[in-house]
């Protein structure tokens, strides 16, 4: 019986494991090793870690967790979970064979998966000159000619947001924009171009975007692409355990990352709209604080 099982080895899960390890809790961290930012060359906006490769940050975190003998890290995917009648949790793990582990509290830090544009050439530029978050990668492409891939309200909103970093912007909707006249006027007023032609492919050299080729044969020269797309929960464990989801599809969490399932916490990208590494790490720490407090109350009783 562990005090806590943490599912997810990203910044939220690793941060929680660190705090709980320092609280002398017995912790099992399960990591399927499929990080959302695997394609990224560096993470940004994290104090003292600005520009660090994501894999390096995870390596350093694991190395530092080695100092805490109560923390065990296992490279395994959690395939099922249930809350027992006594309030404890059972997690089924798969690391080449199924195994069930139990804990008093459970923290899900499994994150989300992005729906990527299905356009030829996108895989080559993803994480190198194609991004979904301007807060993470806008600075590196400031004042450059940028394209926005998206349509309807999401595409328009991202295009307007990017005016902070560049004024040479073109919204490429890959078909009808789906925008009312007022929104089209707003784009025009802010100097944002609009291309509704179907996109044939993204053309790049060594992962750096050079142009967007439309099905008409015409090309639009651009240096980087930001795309507006949906994301989804990377794991269905929260739903299986009975968590309420928001209209956007995030797990509904309260103070200190609590959920409406007693003893279950959700932290990181799966629970918040602000999806930054530093925010995920902070949420993991807050969840760990709350978990240790609840365990302490139970132990004292």
Decide which of 170, 193, 227 is a domain's last residue. Answer: 227
Nearest to 31 by CA among 56, 60, 6, 12: 6
Q: How many CB atoms lie within 10 A of CB 231?
A: 18
Tell whether 131 and 214 lie within a shared domain: yes
DSSP class of 258:
B
Position 5 scores a pLDDT of 98
> Is a pLDDT exceeding 70 seen at residue 51?
yes
Domain boundary among 183, 205, 227: 227
- My answer on whether 206 and 283 are in the same domain is no
Q: Tally the domains of the chain.
A: 2
Co-location of 183 and 252 in the same domain: no
- Note the pLDDT tens digit of each residue in 273-296: 688 999 999 999 999 999 999 999
pLDDT above 90 (res 246): no
pLDDT at res. 273: 67
pLDDT of residue 55: 94
In this predicted model, what pLDDT tens digit does every residue of 137-157 receive, in sequence order? 999 999 999 999 999 999 999
Check residue 265 and give its pLDDT: 97
In the chain, % of residues over pLDDT 70: 99
49 and 100 inside one domain? yes
The enclosing domain of 241 has a CATH number of: 3.50.50.60
Q: What is the pLDDT of residues 224-233, one digit of tens each?
A: 999 998 888 8
What are the C-alpha distances in Å from 3 to residues 23, 32, 260? Answer: 11, 20, 20
Last residue of a domain, one of 204, 227, 250: 227
Q: How confident is the model at residue 269, as a pLDDT?
A: 81
Residue 136 shares a structural domain with residue 10:
no
Domain housing 253: 2-113+231-300
> Does 19 lie in the same domain as 101?
yes
Answer yes or no: do 130 and 190 share one domain.
yes
196 and 51 housed in the same domain: no
Q: How far apart are CA 51 and CA 150, in angstroms?
A: 27
Q: Are residues 21 and 52 in the same domain?
A: yes
Same-domain status, 101 and 150: no
Claim to verify: residue 39 and residue 83 sit in the same structural domain: yes
Q: What is the CA radius of gyration of the chain?
A: 22
Name the DSSP class of 126. Answer: B
**Whether residue 71 sits in one domain with residue 16:** yes
Q: Is the pLDDT of residue 97 over 80?
A: no
Question: With 80 as the cut, is the pLDDT of residue 258 above it?
Answer: yes
| 108-143 residue pLDDT tens | 999 888 889 999 999 999 999 999 999 999 999 999
In this prediction, what percent of the chain has a pLDDT beyond 90? Answer: 85
- H, E, C per residue of 28-64: EEECCCCCCCCCCCCECCCCCCCCECHHHHHHHHHHH
């Amino acid at each position: 019986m562990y005090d806590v099982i943490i599912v997810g080895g990203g910044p939220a899960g690793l941060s929680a494991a660190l705090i709980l390890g320092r609280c002398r809790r017995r912790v099992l961290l399960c990591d399927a090793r499929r990080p959302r930012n695997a394609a990224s060359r560096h993470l940004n906006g994290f104090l003292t870690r600005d520009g660090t490769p994501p894999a390096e940050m995870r390596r350093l975190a694991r190395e530092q967790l080695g100092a805490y003998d109560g923390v065990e890290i296992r490279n395994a995917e959690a395939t099922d979970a249930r809350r027992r009648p006594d309030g404890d949790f059972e997690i089924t793990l798969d690391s080449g064979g199924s195994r069930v582990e139990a804990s008093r509290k459970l923290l899900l830090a499994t994150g989300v998966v992005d729906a990527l544009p299905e356009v030829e050439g996108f895989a080559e530029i993803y994480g190198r000159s194609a991004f979904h978050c301007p807060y993470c990668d806008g600075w590196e492409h400031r004042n450059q000619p940028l394209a926005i891939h998206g349509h309807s309200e999401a595409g328009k909103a991202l295009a307007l947001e990017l005016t902070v970093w560049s004024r040479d912007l073109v919204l490429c909707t890959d078909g009808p924009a789906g925008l009312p006249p007022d929104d089209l006027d707003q784009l025009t007023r802010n100097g944002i171009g609009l291309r509704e032609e179907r996109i044939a492919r993204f053309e790049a050299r060594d992962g750096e975007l050079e142009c967007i080729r439309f099905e008409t044969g015409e090309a639009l020269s651009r240096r980087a692409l930001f795309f507006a797309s949906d994301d989804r929960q990377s794991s269905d464990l929260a739903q299986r355990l009975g968590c309420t989801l928001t209209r956007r599809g995030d797990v509904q969490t309260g103070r200190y990352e609590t959920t409406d399932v007693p003893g279950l916490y959700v932290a990181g990208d799966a629970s918040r709209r602000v999806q930054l590494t530093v925010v995920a790490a902070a949420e993991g720490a807050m969840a760990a604080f709350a978990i240790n407090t609840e365990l302490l109350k139970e132990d004292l009783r």
